[in-house]
Amino acid sequence: MRLSHTAAIVGAVIVAAGCHQMAQLTFDEVASLRPARVYVTQTDNGSVMEVSGPQVYNDTIVGYVNGQFTELPASDVKKLVVKRPARAKTIALFAAGTGVAAVVGYWISGLGKPSERDLVDCDYDETNDPRCN
């Protein structure tokens, strides 16, 4: 029973990880969508920083980086990226997981069927039965 619980947890983690995608946004989109966080790639060194609570004022994005209020002008920003739910991938992953679970369940259900030999106790009762050979 423990194995099934572990498999369920691992499956849930995989499904949760596969249900997002990264999408590039413009300054205008960040201003209108107001996501909880964006990932900013800087122009000078290409480093990526996570900006929490981003807001756009004119040509500057402001928010918190590691708990510190930060202002980044558009000239310092190479790319803005946000993590979004990927509905199509989620549906496909769920359908594939359901299909695999159905196949495994069908396979497991056929394992416990007794054979003809299992219906006869060859050691004690019916040693002369032809199925015991």
Predicted local confidence at residue 98, as pLDDT: 87
Q: Which residues pair with 82 in a beta bridge?
A: 23
Predicted local confidence at residue 10, as pLDDT: 66
Which of 17-21, 29-33, 85-89 is predicted least confidently? 17-21
- Note whether 36 and 71 are same-domain residues: yes
**pTM beyond 0.85, yes or no:** no
Q: Identify the domain containing residue 107 by its residue range.
A: 87-132
Q: Which residues pair with 49 in a beta bridge?
A: 40
Domain count, the chain: 2
- Cα gap 124→103, rounded to integer Å: 39
Say if 126 falls within a structural domain.
yes
First to last CA, the chain: 36
- Note whether 73 and 93 are same-domain residues: no
Per-residue pLDDT of 92-109, as tens digits, reads: 888 888 888 888 887 777
Say if 10 falls within a structural domain.
no
Q: Is the dihedral of CA 19, 23, 29, 34 positive or negative?
A: positive
Burial zone of 68 (CB within 10 Å; 0-12 exposed, 13-18 middle, 19+ buried): exposed
Q: Is residue 111 very low, low, confident or very high in pLDDT (cuts 50, 70, 90)? A: low
The two three-digit tokens of residue 78, written as one number: 């190479």
Helix (H, G, I), strand (E, B) or coil at 49: strand
Helix (H, G, I), strand (E, B) or coil at 26: coil
At 132, which amino acid appears? Answer: C
